[in-house]
Structure 1
Amino acid sequence: MGLTGRASLGVNQRLILMAGVGSFWGFSIGSFIGGRHAGLQYLAENAHRLPTTVQGWYFYHKTKNYRMALGGIKRGARYAVRTGGLCLMYGAIEAGLDHVRGEPDVLNSVTAGTVSGALFSAFTKLSRGSVRYSLMFGAAFGLVTGGLSDIHRYISGNPPSYMTWIRSRMNHDDDKE
Structure 2
Amino acid sequence: MITLPPEYYQLPGLASTFGLSIGLFRGSRKAGLQYLAENAHKAPRTVKGWYEYKKVKNSRMILAGLHQGGKDALKLAALGVLWVTAEEVTSQVGPMAAQGKELVAAVGVSAVISSIYRLPKRQVFLLGFTFGLSKMCLRHLQAPSGPAAHPPVNPQN
Q: TM class, shorter-chain normalised? A: 0.7 to 0.9
Partner of 2:60: 67
Deviations 1:14-54 (A, max 9, x none): 33211101111111111111111111111111111111111
Equivalent residue for 1:143, pick from 90, 109, 133: 133
Paired with 1:63 and 1:145, the residues of 2 have a C-alpha distance of: 46
Deviation at 1:125, TM superposition (A): 4.5
Paired with 1:158 and 1:48, the residues of 2 have a C-alpha distance of: 72
CA contact (8 A) 1:14 1:91 kept: no
Partner of 2:95: 102
What is the TM-score of this pair, normalised by structure 2?
0.82
Unaligned 5+ runs, structure 2 = 151-157
Q: 2:79 matched to 1:86? A: yes
Paired with 1:45 and 1:89, the residues of 2 have a C-alpha distance of: 40
Deviation at 1:86, TM superposition (A): 0.6
Q: 2:113 matched to 1:120? A: yes
Deviations 1:63-122 (A, max 9, x none): 1111111111100100000011011101110111112122643x2211210111112222
CA contact (8 A) 1:33 1:75 kept: yes
* Structure with greater helix percent: 1
* 2:137 maps to amino acid: G
Q: 2:41 matched to 1:51? A: no
Equivalent residue for 2:26, pick from 24, 33, 40: 33
Unaligned 5+ runs, structure 1 = 4-9, 160-177
Deviations 1:107-165 (A, max 9, x none): 2211210111112222x1504x2x22322222222223222222222369648xxxxxx
Aligned residue pairs, count: 147
**SS of 1:113's equivalent?**
helix
> Measured at CA, do residues 25 and 155 of structure 1 come closer, stay the same or move farther in structure 2, by a change above 3 Å?
farther
Paired with 1:141 and 1:75, the residues of 2 have a C-alpha distance of: 27
Paired with 1:126 and 1:12, the residues of 2 have a C-alpha distance of: 33
Partner of 1:132: 122
What is the TM-score of this pair, normalised by structure 1?
0.74
> Measured at CA, do residues 85 and 101 of structure 1 come closer, stay the same or move farther in structure 2, by a change above 3 Å?
same
